Amino acid sequence: MAPVAEGPPPSDPTGSGPDEAGPDQETTSRELPVTGAEAGERLDSWLAKKHPDHSRSVLRRCVEKGRVTIDGQPVKKASRKLNANEKVCFTPPPPPQVTPLPENVPLEVLYQDEHILVISKEAGMIVHPSPGAPPEGTLVNALLGHSSGIGQVGEEDRPGIVHRLDRETSGVMVIARTNAAHRELSRQFHDREVSKEYLALCHGEPAETSGEIDLPLARSFTDTKKWTVRHDQDARQAFTAWKLSKTFPELRSPISWIHCFPRTGRTHQIRVHLRAIGHPILCDFLYGREKRLDLSQLGRQQPEAILERHALHAWKLHLRHPIEGKSMQFEAPLPPDLSPWWDAASESSS
């Protein structure tokens, strides 16, 4: 049984940000303070801890080329010992240009015309090639094999792409097939005129039946693959409305289906926000508690209900056609790994 369509809660803000997911590897400068406990560490060792996406040899070359400063001054020795309260700024090297090639990768097409293509992305598929990720098998490779001419739309390394989903997030995405459509869709996402609705299966059962999460996000100081709630100048506004949908009241450890309505589109936004209110998404290895889970572990015998990726699905997307201007809504059915969990749950009494 697929989810029954329903309107957003009264607090649902219209619109969404430009992206839901970014590449794991850093591409912008970051300034971090040296703590008292870190005083005396070698610069290269300290950089390796703070920037695990880069090898030590790359970090040393960055030091030699002046891409690392301490208190605003370039430093040339990777062996330099650090002092407490110094501020180290690291500017990563530009990522190598990746030219994606067309591949015959199946796509689940929900809608298409000459200007747009709407698909349901499967979990595990990367949207576009990026540093540290395989250059093949991505959505971009599939698009190049599916739509002739899309390679000339938008940016060379991500043709047609106007928004993204995390690798393990499934669900609906819109792709531009012409440059005119790309410009207009990009504008709609930038101006938060696109509405998105997600379904998330989370630990616990919220005390309230709906709510709003207004917490700014920034990259973690300790793990550059993660984002976290921060209240400093580097943090960016992030807003998610939510509504409780279904629960499993008989389980030893309660879990819940929650509808999420992100107004902004920060990297990992829904995942971090739900964790911040005490309801991390099931099987979110980065922000949650486990990598694999089946319903029997929680006290319910349902053999087909097995999860091996985070339980987040982009369910609905509402926008205006970039050329014709008409209002359009698209819905991606829950995939086979999530639908048994939906069917096994009970409707919320809200």
Structure tokens at 206: 């919220």
Q: What pLDDT is attached to residue 78?
A: 92
More confident: 30 or 207: 207
73-74/68-70 β-pairing: antiparallel
Q: Average pLDDT of 220-249?
A: 90
Q: What pLDDT is attached to residue 301?
A: 64
Q: Which residues are catalytic?
A: 166
How far is the C-alpha of 274 from the C-alpha of 266, rounded, in Å? 13
Query: First CA to last CA across the chain, in angstroms?
Result: 20
How far is the C-alpha of 80 from the C-alpha of 77, rounded, in Å? 6
Sign, CA dihedral 36-42-43-46, equals negative
Phi-psi region of 337 (alpha: psi -120 to 50; beta: other; left: phi over 0): alpha
Domain with CATH 3.10.290.10 in the chain: 30-90
Judge whether 12 and 210 are in contact, CB under 8 Å. Answer: no
Q: Average pLDDT of 13-18?
A: 36
Domain with CATH 3.30.2350.10 in the chain: 108-347
Q: Which class is domain 108-347?
A: alpha beta
Q: What is the mean pLDDT of the chain?
A: 86
Instruction: Categorize the per-residue pLDDT at 303 as very low, low, confident or very high, splitting at 50, 70 and 90.
Output: low
Q: Is the pLDDT of residue 169 over 50?
A: yes
Which CATH number fits the domain 30-90, given the four candidates 3.20.20.140, 3.40.50.720, 3.40.30.10, 3.10.290.10? 3.10.290.10
Of all residues in the chain, the percent with pLDDT exceeding 90 is: 62
Q: Average pLDDT of 333-344?
A: 93
Burial 158-185 (b: 16+ CB within 10 A, else e): bbbbbbbbbbbbbbbbbbbbbeebbebb
254-283 confidence digits (pLDDT tens):
899 999 999 999 999 999 999 999 999 999
Q: 284: how many CB neighbours lie within 10 A of its CB?
A: 25
Q: Average pLDDT of 303-332?
A: 94
Q: Which residues neighbour 16 within 8 Å (Cβ) at sequence distance 6 or greater?
A: 163, 189, 192, 194, 195, 196, 262, 263, 264, 265
More confident: 257 or 302: 257
Q: Is the pLDDT of residue 39 over 50?
A: yes
How far is the C-alpha of 339 from the C-alpha of 180, rounded, in Å? 37
Judge whether 43 and 88 are in contact, CB under 8 Å. Answer: yes
193-230 confidence digits (pLDDT tens):
999 999 999 999 999 999 999 999 998 888 878 999 99
Among 60, 64, 70, 67, smallest CA distance to 34 is for 70
Long-range CB contact pairs, 43-50, < 8 A, 24+: 43/68, 43/70, 43/75, 43/77, 43/78, 43/79, 43/80, 43/81, 43/82, 43/88, 44/78, 44/79, 46/82, 46/88, 47/78, 47/88, 47/90, 50/88, 50/90, 50/221, 50/222, 50/224
102-159 confidence digits (pLDDT tens):
899 999 999 999 999 999 999 999 998 776 666 678 999 999 999 888 989 998 888 9
Q: 108: how many CB neighbours lie within 10 A of its CB?
A: 14
45-81 confidence digits (pLDDT tens):
999 888 877 778 888 889 998 999 999 999 989 999 9
Using a 10 angstrom Cβ sphere, with 0-12 exposed, 13-18 middle and 19 or more buried, the burial of residue 333 is middle
Structure tokens at 143: 């698009």
Q: Is the pLDDT of residue 4 over 60?
A: no
How far is the C-alpha of 197 from the C-alpha of 7, rounded, in Å? 10
How far is the C-alpha of 223 from the C-alpha of 226, rounded, in Å? 6
Instruction: Categorize the per-residue pLDDT at 348 as very low, low, confident or very high, splitting at 50, 70 and 90.
Output: low
Q: Name, of 14-18, 44-48, 95-99, 249-253, the range with top average pLDDT.
A: 44-48
Rg of the chain over CA atoms, in angstroms? Answer: 22
